[in-house]
Structure 1
Amino acid sequence: MNGEDGRDVAVLRNKRDASRYQILVAIAARQPAVSQQEIADAVGVTAQAVSEYVRELVESGAVEKHGRGRYEVTKEGVDWLISRTEDLRAFTEFVTEEVVGQVDADTAIAGEPLDAGETVTLTMDDGVLHAHAGEEGSATARTLTAADAGADVGVAEFDGLLDYETGTVTVVVLPDVRDGGSRAVAADEVARLTTQHDLLATAGVEALAAARRAGHDPDVRFGTAQAVEEAATRGLSVLLLVGPRDLAAHTDRLREGSVGYELVDARESPGAAIER
């Protein structure tokens, strides 16, 4: 079996080579008193197959037989094990670093021009992952691509934890349209709250109407339960205007995501928090 870098991993080429390797390891671990049934159980083949493999190992000079049930791995056998083990280790490192490492990747915004393979510091700015030259921060990664400042850049090989605080959500509950809907909310209070938050989200027609009466178009109108939770998780503060039919879906999602929120009943006083 060849690695993507051209490395020949002989012990992985077929099941017979892999079984031969495992049986030789089992003999080395148990010598000189070796039970073929014990090896069969450890490797997952029949005792008859173990007997055949052992005979081949003896004939090839990798194992010496000293009597019934007594075997010893020779210097040639040890050298063969070492060479195959080194191949496996090198191939495992290649898979971990070059294959798995690139699959476990993310995308960031480059803070300045970056080269591929450069170590960068990661920050969460305005809810978006950013990569900056240098490795002085609490979280670092390696760039997978080159990028100009402000462009998207692939990052992987993460180390450390991003240092930022999770955002919170202010939930303004609007009554049903039959109970006043958007007209029951003070437009100037909604406008004031909007300026104190990073994002404005609306769920329901009453909520959209209330935002527009306050002179604002929402940043989020659809898929708000997921979007609001994700925005807060990324450090943004969100003002959510929500009608009674959609309230439970949003608060359940926030609780499940361990996102802090305050619930405001707009029919009484938009500034009075009644739940945390």
Structure 2
Amino acid sequence: MDDERAVAPRVLDNKRDASKYRVLVEIAARQPAVSQGEIADVLGVTSQAVSDYVRELVDRGYVEKRGRGRYEVTKEGVDWLITRTDALSEFVSRVSEDVLGSVDVDAAIAADPISEGDAVRLTMRDGVLHAIGDRRGGGAPAGTDAPTESDAPTESDAPATAVAVTDGAAGEAVGVTEFEGVVEYDPGVVTVIPVPVVTEGEPPSVDVVTDRVDESGFVAIAGTEAYALATRAGIRPEIRFGTVDAVPQAALRGLDVLLLVSSDELSRHTTQLRESGVRYEVHDPVGDSA
């Protein structure tokens, strides 16, 4: 294991080894007809430098010269590439998991005043990650609500936790890291109301829409006809653009969404909802208003 771990720094720290590795990769990709000038352009070095690297690779038995401008990577060269590539892959994986993973910072809304270093519990509210400080010690800070039973963690809840890396008053964004557990919440349901395009008939009654707004609370509109219906109903939608992607994302974050969509846009939206694994219900506006 120690020998394998030592290989990656040797390729990364030694510029000549790193360049030789890249040249061998380019030869393997282009063989048997190899243009040293093209390799030089790709690597950003001179043709003379590439020629020197190729000569060294031939001398080491990693590359065999077949004629003018014709080269092939030998079995020894392939083995050398595989060894270095595997070591680099392990090195990158170790950096990603052990180094970058440990410093990954996300943002959350402080549910109450939070100080750097505080242990917090994470929950999803209105589709946004919230951080709840541990207020069980000395009671709730001034100006905040007292903790409730729903806030208190239980063994069965196995709440998601993190550590705050910035200070924040209630309602402010704070940085959190060292995540443990899973933030559990129920995905939302999308209620879809198709609105006929102007060439297909009259729009549904505004009552069909207003009766459902309170049930969902979060409204999205797609298409001019849907916009006109929402305007007549006095509805201010949360999403007006990019609804094909935005509506599934909102539902996956736990929001129930009412989607008013012009009929010519319906299939694109329902297809994306299905592919995203989002529950949705399509309501016939004519049937609902009858």
Relative to the length of structure 1, the TM-score reads: 0.61
1:97 CA displacement: 5.9
Partner of 1:163: 184
**CA offsets 1:166-198 (integer angstroms, 9 cap, x no match):** 00000001111122343xx11112111111112
- Are residue 248 (structure 1) and residue 249 (structure 2) matched? no
**Structure-2 change in CA distance of 1:15 and 1:164 (3 Å):** closer
- Counterpart-to-counterpart distance in 2, 1:227 and 1:17: 44
Q: Structure 1 residues 238 and 213 mapped into 2: Cα distance closer, same or farther (>3 Å)?
A: same
Give the 3 Å change call, closer, same or farther, for CA 97–157 of structure 1 in structure 2.
farther
Match of 2:276 in 1: 257
CA distance in 2, matches of 1:125, 1:143: 18
Matching residue of 1:150? 171
Partner of 2:138: none
Amino acid at match of 2:123: T
Cα distance in 2 between the residues matched to 1:176 and 1:204: 9
What is the CA deviation profile of residues 4-55 of structure 1, one whole-angstrom value per residue up to 9, with x for unaligned ones? xxxxxx998646999xxxxxxxxxxxxxxxxxxxxx9xx959xxxxxxxxxx
Q: Which runs of structure 2 are paired with 1:123-202 in the superposition (5 Å)?
A: 123-134=123-134, 136=153, 138-182=159-203, 185-202=204-221
Contact 1:166–1:236 (CA under 8 A) maintained in structure 2? yes
Q: Give the equivalent residue in structure 2 for 1:87.
A: none
Q: How many residues align?
A: 192
Structure 2 counterpart of 1:106, which letter? D
Q: Which residue in the other structure is 2:239 paired with?
A: 220
SS at match of 2:259: strand
- Segments of 5+ residues of structure 2 without an aligned counterpart are 1-5, 15-75, 82-92, 135-151
Q: Is the 8 A contact 1:264 1:270 kept in 2?
A: no
Cα pair distance change 1:170/1:44, threshold 3 Å: same
Displacement of 1:223: 0.6
CA distance in 1, matches of 2:241, 2:255: 18
2:253 to 231, 234, 242: 234
Q: More deviation in 144-153 or 164-173?
A: 144-153
Residues in 1 aligned to 2:96 and 2:249: alpha-carbon distance in whole angstroms: 32
Q: Is the contact made by 1:110 and 1:148 (CA closer than 8 Å) also made in structure 2?
A: yes
How far apart, in 2, do the equivalents of 1:44 and 1:107 lie?
44
Question: Residue 269 of structure 1: CA displacement?
Answer: 2.3
8 Å contact from structure 1 (residues 176, 243) kept in 2: yes
Q: Report the aligned-residue RMSD.
A: 3.2
CA-CA distance at 1:126 after TM superposition: 1.0
Q: How does 1:42-53 map to 2 (within 5 A)?
A: none
Structure 1 residues 99, 267: CA separation in 2 closer, same or farther (over 3 Å shift)? same
1:211 aligns with 2:212: no
What whole-Å deviation, never above 9, does each CA across 1:246-272 have from its counterpart, x for those lacking one? 11111111111111000112133259x
| 1:142–1:155 contact (8 Å) kept in structure 2 | yes
